[in-house]
Structures are given as C-alpha cells and as structure tokens.
Structure 1
Amino acid sequence: MVKLHDLEFEPYLDQNTLQQSIKKLAEQISADYDSKTPIFLGILNGAFMFLSDLMKYYEGDCEISFTKLASYEGTSSTGEVSTLLGAGNLKGRDVIIVEDIVDTGNTLEHIVQVLEKEGVASYKIASLFFKPEAYKKSLPIDYIGLEIPNKFIVGYGLDYNGLGRNISEIYQLKSKLDD
C-alpha cells in the first residue's frame, strides 16, 4: 500500500510486467522503422521513465525530444490541454509520440493538431497504458503496451498531484469498497 497526499493506492503491476511490455513495443517499433531515423517525442512529465526504458530496447538510429502538456488536476482530466514546453522543429520528420497513458485522448488530439501544423512526414502513437473504456477520440493508438481498466494509477512516471512518479511499479487507487 502507498499513500500519496490524501489517497491510498494498492499494488497493480510489477516491474517485470512493465519491462516485458516495453521490450515488446521496442521490438515492434524497431521493425517498423528499420530503415528510418524517427524522433521519439516524449510527453512530459509522465512519459520520461517509459521513454528511457523504451530507448534501452530500441534497435536503430533515432533522436529524442520532449514536449510538456498539462490536462490533469488531481485524479481527473480537466478536458483542457495546454502546452507548457514545445518540442522544436519537427517539419518533415517521422515522429513517434510517446505517452505514458492514453485515457480520454484529449492530450493526443492536441499533439496531433500541433504536429500536422508543423508538417511532420508521419506520426505514430506509442503508449505504455491504454484505457479503452475512457477513450473518446478516433486517433489510432499504434503501439500499446497494456490495456487497463478505467482506474486511476500512479508510479513509473505517473503521478497524483506531483507525487508517485518515482515509484518503480504501478499502483491503482484503492477502492472505497476495499475498506
């Protein structure tokens, strides 16, 4: 059990499960981009650990960049996405958007609009976690590590109001029914 601020979280996914999923994603992306030099665009702050491990398994030439967006307050999405840090010039590049988690899809929709305005050659979306029950958009998620239920999770880069990003495993919000 982990307590962050006022909430309790219980163990959900261990490090081994995470690493196996990330290695499988890296192998898929490596095969798809065999003769290209993609730029991996990590979405801060949540995707930093995922992107770091993904790069350890990726075979091939690549570049890395980051952008910082905000859409969460507490345990729920605000519905609004704001850009806090831009990614730089991506015109004509093959971009792989690296997300920690896709739930509503609001952040992804915002990123894709920015990339299309930039004139990227192509883009694909890689997410460690995907919540199909919460997803409200039509963008295809090209690389999915794990599909999970629509529950709030922390750890491995994901946070609750700034805390929990440094936890090496995934914890989910403890249900009130568990008490």
Structure 2
Amino acid sequence: MDAKQIEGDLALDQTYIAEADIQARLRELAAEIARDYEGEDLLLVGVLRGAVMVMADLARALDRDVEMDWMAVSSYGSGTTSSGVVRILKDLDSDLTGRHVLIVEDIIDSGLTLSWLTTNLRSRKPASVEICTLLRKPEALKMVVDVKYVGFDIPNAFVVGYGLDYDERYRNLRDIATLAPHVYA
C-alpha cells in the first residue's frame, strides 16, 4: 500500500518519510554494519511485529550472509503508550553464547522495552549486543538506551507504516505517515 492509496484516509495526517528515503537510509546502515562486523558471524534479532519490514530490507541490503531470529515482547497492551511491564511472547530459537547480536527495531520511543530486552539478551552471554533502529524519538526517551545504528530521529508524533501500526492497521504502508491526533485522542 502506498501513500496515494491512503490520501482519502482521514486517520492519516501526512507522509512523514517516503519509501525511497527509508530504503536509501537502510542501505547506508547496512554498509556501516557490514564494515563493523567484517569477518564476524552476525545474528540479527528482529523484534516482532513492527520490525518485520526493517529486518527484511536491512538483511537484503547487507552484502554478506547473516542469520536471523525473532523475538516478540510486549509492553503496550492496546494503548498507544508503553505500560513499562515487559512480557516475552515469543523467545529466540538461537543460542546467543559467544555470538554477535544485532537487535533490529522499528522504533524506539520510551526505551523501556528495549532497555529490558538488551539486559535480557546480555544475560545470555553473547560476544556483543548492539541495536539498530529505523526510528528513534529522542524527546520521548525515559531510559538511556545506547543505540549504535539509527535510521532517523523523529519528533514525538504517532507514526504508522513500514511495520508500525495503529490497532493492527497501516503496517503494510510503504511510507511512514503521521497518524491524525483525533484517531488516538
């Protein structure tokens, strides 16, 4: 689904980041990651469900072989802000012992979930744990989270598309768009 298909959708405010800009930035991040992990085995850990698009396109942009695994955690419930209580809904299938792990996220807002997740993964004795996120909201951060690879810093607005949803809608939007405030107010 592209922006032209949603022009009449009153729930969406405007296109914030176009698909072409997302793809270009992911190629840049992939080049950085490939340089940083040259000669190392790398495990990409995607955080379901939002990171599916980011993970797929980032992995395809890498010019090397990588292994992928998925984890599902939740701290949102049905609202638009984090509850701060994290639950594992699906754990990894891979053993992390001695491995270089790159967590791939769609967005970091409060940082609460990601802070918990990095602590959890580091307890599994990997060689390293780093974070790659497409979007980060510096104004919304409540926890300091060391993020090695950031696609875009954005303001504290509710965005959807490219894996990000509102009530399970808009994940398949190719662009990132802002959600109209009346929808979630």
Query: Structure 1 length as normaliser, TM-score?
Result: 0.91
Query: How far, CA to CA, are the matches of 1:163 and 1:175 in structure 2?
Result: 15
* Cα offset, 1:74, TM superposition: 2.9
CA contact (8 A) 2:138 2:154 kept: yes
Q: 1:140 aligns with which of 138, 143, 146?
A: 146
| Other-structure match for 1:18 | 22
Query: How far, CA to CA, are the matches of 1:2 and 1:76 in structure 2?
Result: 27
Matched pairs, number:
174
Query: How far, CA to CA, are the matches of 2:53 and 2:20 in structure 1?
Result: 14
Query: How far, CA to CA, are the matches of 1:45 and 1:68 in structure 2?
Result: 7
Query: How far, CA to CA, are the matches of 1:129 and 1:117 in structure 2?
Result: 26
| Other-structure match for 1:78 | 83
Q: 2:163 aligns with which of 147, 157, 165?
A: 157
CA contact (8 A) 1:105 1:135 kept: yes
State the AA in 2 paired with 1:79.
Answer: G
* Cα offset, 1:91, TM superposition: 1.5
| Other-structure match for 1:43 | 47
Name stretches of at least 5 consecutive residues in structure 1 with no aligned partner. none
- 2:86 aligned with 1:69: no
CA contact (8 A) 2:136 2:152 kept: yes
CA contact (8 A) 1:2 1:10 kept: no
- 2:96 aligned with 1:96: no
State the AA in 1 paired with 2:62.
Answer: Y
SS of equivalent to 2:82:
strand
Distance 1:2 1:42, change over 3 A: farther
* Cα offset, 1:37, TM superposition: 1.0
Name stretches of at least 5 consecutive residues in structure 2 with no aligned partner. 1-6
- Worse-matched range after superposition: 38-47 or 88-97: 88-97
* Cα offset, 1:122, TM superposition: 0.4
| Richer in strand (by share) | 1
Query: How far, CA to CA, are the matches of 1:3 and 1:84 in structure 2?
Result: 32
- 2:33 aligned with 1:29: yes
State the AA in 1 paired with 2:120.
Answer: V
- Worse-matched range after superposition: 72-81 or 28-37: 72-81
CA contact (8 A) 2:12 2:177 kept: no
Query: How far, CA to CA, are the matches of 1:155 and 1:108 in structure 2?
Result: 20
SS of equivalent to 2:157:
coil
| Other-structure match for 2:130 | 124
RMSD: 1.5
Query: How far, CA to CA, are the matches of 2:111 and 2:18 in structure 1?
Result: 25
- Worse-matched range after superposition: 44-53 or 68-77: 68-77
Query: Structure 2 length as normaliser, TM-score?
Result: 0.88
- 2:115 aligned with 1:106: no
